[in-house]
Amino acid sequence: MQLDDITISRAITESFMKDFQKAMDVEVAIGGAGPAGMTAAYYLAKEGIKTVIFERSLRPGGGMPGGGMMFNTIVVQEAARAILNEFDVRTREYETGYYTADSVEASSAICLKAIQAGAKIFNLVSIEDVMIRENDRITGLVLNWSAVSLAKLHVDPLSIRSKVVIDATGHASEICHIVVNKLGGRLRTEGGGIMGERSMWAEVAEGKILENTREIYPGLIVAGMAANAVCGTPRMGPIFGGMLLSGKRAAAVAKEVLQQLEVSQ
C-alpha cells in the first residue's frame, strides 16, 4: 500500500476535530494533566463520567516525571501505594512506610490508565478564562492554544461547557486566580482569597491536602498542589502520595457535586 500525505493529514485533522467537538460539552473539565488531575480523571471516567483534561504543556505528567531535583524517582507513603498498584506501577519499599517508584513509569502509567478509562487529554491548550452563568456558578472554561499566549498573539479563544471544573494546575492554581483576580470571586478559604503556598514541610502538607481538596467556589474543585497553594498549606516536595490521594478525593467530590446538580434540576 502506498502512503498518501494528504490522507494522513486528513486523518489527523478530522479525528482531532471530532474529539474536540465532543469535549465542548462535558460533565467534568480538569485543568492540568499532572498526577492529581490525571488520577481524578481516571476515577471519574471509569465510572462513565464524561471527563476531559486540558494541559498547557507538550507532555502530560506535571512535575512527576522530574522526580526530585531531576532524579527520576518519587516517594509515596503506604496510603497512596494502593493507587499506584491500581495503575500497575512497580514500587519498592525503602524503609517502613516509604516506597519508591520510577517517576517516568508512574506518570506514564497514570496517563495511560486515565485515557483507557475514557478520559480525553488535550495537550498544548491553555485556560484563559472561565464561563460564569446563573448564581455566579462556573459552568465551563475558555481555551486557547498555548502557543498563542507564548507568541503574544491576539487570537480569540473558544469555550467549552462543563458541569464541574477541577483546578489541578499545580503551584500556579491558575483557575482559582482567574476567579479571584478577574471575577472578584470569594473562595471558600480564610479571607476569601488565595492564601499562597508556604515553604516545604512534607508531613504537614501531606496531612492537609485531602482537607484542602474540596469545592472551593460554586462549580470549582481544587486538587493537588493547587489545593495546598490556595489554602495556604506548605508544599510537599517529591513525595507524590498526597497528589494521588487528592486526585482520588477530587473525583469523589466531583461526583457529589454532580449528584447535587441532578437533584436540584
pLDDT tens-digit series, residues 33-82: 999 999 999 999 999 999 999 999 999 999 999 999 999 999 999 999 99
* DSSP string over 14-60: HHHHHHHHHTTEEEEEEE--SHHHHHHHHHHHTTT--EEEEESSSSS
The per-residue pLDDT for 185 is 82
Residue 265: the pLDDT is 72
188 within some domain: yes
Q: For the chain, which ranges sit under pLDDT 50? A: none
15 within a domain of the structure (yes/no): no
Q: Considering the domain boundaries, does residue 134 fall inside one?
A: yes
For 144, phi then psi, to 5°, come to -150, 165
Q: What is the pTM of this model?
A: 0.97
- The whole-number pLDDT of residue 133 equals 82
> Is 16 inside any structural domain?
no
The number of folded domains in the chain is 1
Domain interval for residue 151: 25-64+119-264
Specify if 18 maps to a domain.
Answer: no
**Where residue 217 sits, what CATH number does that domain have?**
3.50.50.60
Please report whether residue 251 resides in a domain: yes
The DSSP code sequence of 88-157 is T---EEEETTEEEEEHHHHHHHHHHHHHHHT-EEEESEEEEEEEE-GGG-EEEEEEEEHHHHHTT-----
Beta bridge partners of 131: 140
What confidence score (pLDDT) does residue 174 get? 97
